Amino acid sequence: MKIFTTHILNQKRRYFIDFMTRRTPRELTFKIKTTEEEISIEDYFFSEYGKRLKLLNVPCIQLKGGAQKNYLPVEVCQVYADQPMPKGLITPNMTREIVRVSNRQDPLRRFSLIKNRQKLSILRVKIWPKVLVYN
């Protein structure tokens, strides 16, 4: 799946997702090449870009390519539109949770939500879906 980053102003960097890690930006660490210091993704983004991460309970993304593993927090990533979802990125637990949550919703409420979204799309209002967090 192709993504781009939003943490550097006026610069879109393009990457490909390898997979979602199980660890959060606070838990996931790596060594800085120049100092050999171990630093978390959260601390790195604050020291390097002055950005305090807000989604600290959401796992990071591991990127494809390169000899060194590279990670990004989800909140600095945007997915390019109109891409098919690779089966490898969706785990059986994620599928089970999506089905469970969708079956729990009242059908009339779901229909009204869809109808409201259609009305808003005619007005060109963009709606961002909530992020599901899996523990």
User: Number of structural domains, the chain?
Assistant: 1
Give the pLDDT mean for 3-8. Answer: 82
Identity of the residue numbered 43: D
| Domain membership flag for residue 121 | no
Identity of the residue numbered 55: L
Convert the pLDDT of each residue in 57-66 to its tens digit. Answer: 888 999 888 7
CB distance 4 to 12 below 8 Å? yes
pTM equals 0.59
The whole domain housing 41 covers: 2-90
Query: Which CATH number does the domain housing residue 25 bear?
Result: 2.170.260.10
Convert the pLDDT of each residue in 90-112 to its tens digit. Answer: 777 777 777 777 677 676 776 77
User: Cβ neighbours of residue 79 under 8 Å, at least 6 residues apart?
Assistant: 1, 2, 3
| Domain membership flag for residue 120 | no
